[in-house]
Amino acid sequence: MAEIVGGISVSHAPGWLGWPDAPPAVQRASIAAFTQEIVDYLDEIRPDVIVAILDDHFENLYRNLMPTFAIGIADAHAGPADYWLGALGLKEKLNIPSDPELARELLGHLLGNGFDIARMGPIEYGNNLIVPWHFIRLRNDLPVVPIFINVFSPPLPSVARAYALGEALAKAVRANTSDKRVAFLATGGLSHWPPVWMEHTEESDPFLDRMRRFQTEGRPILEADPNLMVDLAAYEIEMARTANRPLVNAEWDRRFLDALGRGDVQAVKAYGYDEVEREAGHGGHEILNWAAVMGAMGGRPAKIVGYEPVTEWICGMAYATYPTAA
């Protein structure tokens, strides 16, 4: 029987990789220390495969076709998508191996247990995996099975449903008859207000209108607007410099992390769409990924490795692991 050996949750802000020197030195030092602890944790638990709970940033899924849950099944998945390379300061894609046999088993188990999860073929990663992977597993020697939760296109699944997805994934892993050592990874959050268009966006903004077209119509838009993601990076940097409103809600982030650290499942499940949207921004809905990993780890208390509210990256940067023993 396959064994669940650990769980990790980390932020995936593009700035962490794309403009790393923007935050103050003290914050950069803290984040480097948090990252090293995650690296050491991965070396300690020695997984054979990672099941990654992610959200798609319109690399593969768009508002005109956005499944609530989806899984990528292929021998490998590459990233970042070409249009992300310049924004993330990268010169070439990374080909990340996967485990299609395990992915197919997870798909079948979820479908058989009430989760209508979409099957995808080879996918392209964006900052969702490439950014943290660059720091926590740069040697790229572990297969990754990508699972996506819709966090951008309402109606979203509830936090309780995401938690239940994690529970079902853990059950599916334990039903696997191999001796694989499996770790779960969630990326995203915490609070942030990224420059993506939302259905309730009221202000007139030429850049957000460009994002609306791309998010809705997909890749063909990039043929006429090839610099969109490079401009997105510049837009975020300018937002951080000139914003007249908070871009990170550190108080909210710390409350969420406190609930995670206590293993307070009911408190985590109680987060609702309206509260998250109001208090943590539309980027804050990525706590759905964190809730799924909490569910996969049986709701036990996480170790909060560290937290930094980094306005230069427009993100509450958070890092957590789960004890290796239940």
Nearest to 17 by CA among 123, 96, 95, 126: 126
- Cβ atoms of 113 and 98 closer than 8 Å: no
Q: What is the pLDDT of residue 316?
A: 96
pLDDT of residue 244: 59
DSSP string covering 15-62? HHHHSTTSS-HHHHHHHHHHHHHHHHHHHHH--SEEEEEE---SSS-B
So what's the pLDDT on residue 130? 96
What residues have CB less than 8 Å from 307, skipping those under 6 apart? 190, 250, 253, 254, 257, 316, 317, 318, 319
Q: What is the 3-state secondary structure (H, E, C) of 228-246?
A: HHHHHHHHHHHHHHHCCCC
- pLDDT confidence of residue 4: 95
Task: Centre a 10 Å sphere on the Cβ of residue 262 and count the other Cβ atoms it contains.
Answer: 12
Cα(160)–Cα(141) distance, integer angstroms:
33
DSSP code of 282? G
pLDDT at 93: 94
- How many angstroms separate the CA atoms of 74 and 119, rounded? 11
Q: Are 229 and 265 in contact (CB under 8 A)?
A: no
Strand ranges inside the chain, DSSP E: 3-10, 49-54, 69-72, 76-79, 94-97, 118-120, 144-149, 181-187, 303-310, 315-321
Q: Please identify every stretch of the chain with a pLDDT value under 70, giving residue numbers as ranges.
A: 195-197, 199-204, 239-245, 325-326
What span, in angstroms and rounded, lies between the C-alpha atoms of 165 and 124?
22
- Cα 319 from chain centre: 12
Burial code (b: 16+ CB inside 10 Å, e: under 16) for 190-215 equals bbbbbbbbbeeeeeeeeebebbbbbb
Residue type present at position 269: K
What gap in Å lies between CA 282 and CA 189, rounded to an integer? 10
Rounded to the nearest angstrom, the gap between the alpha carbon of residue 26 and the centroid of all alpha carbons in its chain is 25
pLDDT of residue 272: 96
Determine the angle formed by the axes of helices 287-296 and 250-262, rounding to 10 degrees.
10
187, burial (CB in 10 Å: exposed 0-12, middle 13-18, buried 19+): buried
CA distances from 24 to 21, 249, 250 (A): 8, 18, 17
Structural contact between residues 9 and 316, judged by C-beta atoms closer than 8 angstroms: no
The answer to whether 311 touches 25, Cβ cutoff 8 Å, is: no
User: What is the predicted pLDDT for the residue at 200?
Assistant: 65
What pLDDT score does 195 carry?
A: 67
Residue pLDDT, tens place only, 72-123 = 999 999 999 888 888 899 999 999 999 999 999 999 999 999 999 999 999 9
* pLDDT reported for residue 289: 98
